[in-house]
């Protein structure tokens, strides 16, 4: 088997030092192979961005491991992180604030190469190649961010990631600040770059439709724990966990009448809105919102179980089939 480009095992992340504070991330694990996109999806506060920060070294992991191309980088020093930065890059949500307005696009692109001590002539060659790869004109290298549209700025952010020739890119809500037509263009660009360069992409998003478009596999998070994981088609079209059923029912559609039916179906499921119920102190974190929950769900954490294309962490997977049918 091909070695994963990125491997996360039993990741736990705590914020703060207060005793008894539940972890923001609790035992999350996954692999991403070269040329594969893994979608990380969940409501706000589910821990998606925290996982991205831990992988990038922006948030310390309390326990577990993060392995990049076979090398453990969980507790890597800043010096080692600078070396790993060649292979691990990021694209963030807001293309307006992620670029320095006082630097030209060319200066922005060569900045990481200067840190890596790439020869100056090669720096500008790689910057031009990166701009071409993301579909921007050659003269963009001398422009300032204020002279670019939102979609163009996000292409610059992608080019800045590509310029180091990485193996893994963490994409944290990279299209949520863009209009729909620009979203489609950027998503198609990312898919092409992934296939051409065999990139491993961690795609963090809350929109299931966007996740399904770009991802081959999906991990569904709730309060820092994995609720369901598997092939993107299986998870988004035939969800097994009650939480994933609620997410798919809440996903927007372009037809008002169909949207109204979906909203009514979601309300009929009896699943509370995010933030309406505290997490159970033990067991499944979704238990206090789940219409199928029994005492066991509140006291015993369910393991991920399943065969074939998807698995879910639920004690009552057989009963959850009725929720799927009622969507």
Q: What is the CA radius of gyration of the chain?
A: 21
pLDDT of residue 163: 94
Question: What is the spatial distance between Cα 315 and Cα 305, in angstroms, rounded to a whole number?
Answer: 9
- Cα(34)–Cα(201) distance, integer angstroms: 8
For residue range 127-180, what is the model confidence (pLDDT) as tens digits? 999 999 999 999 999 999 999 999 999 999 999 999 999 999 999 999 988 888
**Residue environment code for 57-74, b if the CB has 16+ CB neighbours within 10 A, otherwise e:** bebebeebebbbbeeebb
At the second CATH level, the architecture of 6-238 is 3-Layer(aba) Sandwich (3.40)
> Tokens 């006291």 sit at which residue?
299
Q: What six digits make up the tokens of 263?
A: 């909203």
pLDDT at 272: 58
Q: Which among 191, 279, 168, 213 has a CA at the least distance from the CA of 39?
A: 213
pLDDT at 136: 96
| pLDDT score recorded for residue 254 | 64
How far CA 289 is from CA of 98, 132, 320, in Å, comes to 36, 48, 14
Where exactly does CATH 3.40.50.300 map onto the chain? 6-238
* Other CB atoms within 10 A of residue 262 CB: 18
pTM (2 decimals)?
Answer: 0.91
At residue 131, the pLDDT reads 96
Distance in angstroms (rounded) separating the CA atoms of residues 321 and 23: 30
- Looking at residue 138, what is its pLDDT? 92
Category of 224 on φ-ψ map: left (φ > 0), alpha (ψ -120 to 50) or beta: left
Within 163-294, residue ranges assigned H as helices are: 180-197, 208-214, 232-237, 242-250, 256-269
At 312 the pLDDT is 94
Report how far residue 227's alpha carbon sits from residue 270's, in angstroms, rounded to the nearest whole number.
18
- Number of Cβ within 10 Å of residue 195's Cβ equals 10
Q: To which residue do tokens 């939102």 refer?
A: 150
- Under-50 pLDDT residues of the chain: none
Closest CA to 185 of 214, 161, 163: 214
Ramachandran bin of 30, using left for φ above 0, alpha for ψ from -120 to 50, beta for the remaining angles: beta
How does DSSP assign 98-126, residue by residue? SS-TTS-HHHHHHHHHHHTT--HHHHHHH
């Amino acid at each position: 088997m091909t070695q994963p480009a990125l491997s996360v095992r039993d990741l736990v992340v705590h914020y703060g030092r207060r005793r008894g504070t539940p972890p923001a991330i609790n035992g999350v694990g996954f692999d991403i192979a070269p040329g594969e996109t893994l979608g990380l999806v969940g409501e706000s506060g589910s821990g998606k961005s925290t996982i991205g920060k831990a992988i990038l070294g922006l948030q310390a992991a309390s326990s577990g491991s993060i392995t990049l191309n076979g090398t453990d980088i969980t507790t890597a020093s800043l010096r080692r992180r600078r070396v790993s930065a060649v292979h691990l890059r990021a694209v963030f949500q807001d293309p307006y604030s992620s670029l320095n307005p006082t630097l030209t696009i060319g200066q922005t692109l060569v900045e990481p190469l200067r840190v890596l001590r790439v020869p100056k002539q090669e720096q500008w060659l790689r910057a031009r190649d990166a701009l071409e790869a993301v579909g921007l004109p050659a003269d963009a290298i001398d422009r300032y961010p204020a002279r670019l549209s939102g979609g163009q700025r996000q292409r610059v952010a992608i080019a800045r990631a590509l310029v180091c020739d990485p193996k893994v890119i963490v994409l944290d809500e990279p299209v949520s600040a863009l209009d729909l037509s620009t979203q489609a263009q950027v998503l198609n660009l990312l898919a092409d770059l992934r296939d051409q360069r065999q990139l491993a992409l961690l795609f963090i998003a809350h929109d299931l439709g966007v996740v399904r478009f770009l991802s081959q596999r999906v991990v569904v998070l709730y309060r820092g724990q994995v609720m369901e994981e598997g092939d993107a088609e299986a998870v988004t079209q035939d969800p097994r966990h009650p939480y994933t059923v609620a997410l798919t029912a809440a996903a927007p559609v372009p037809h008002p009448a169909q949207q109204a039916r979906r909203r009514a179906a979601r309300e009929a499921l009896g699943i509370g809105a995010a933030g309406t119920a505290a997490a159970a102190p033990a067991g499944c974190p979704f238990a206090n919102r789940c219409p199928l929950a029994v005492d066991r769900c509140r006291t015993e954490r369910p393991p991920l179980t399943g065969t074939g294309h998807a698995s879910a962490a639920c004690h009552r997977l057989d009963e959850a089939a009725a929720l799927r049918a009622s969507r």
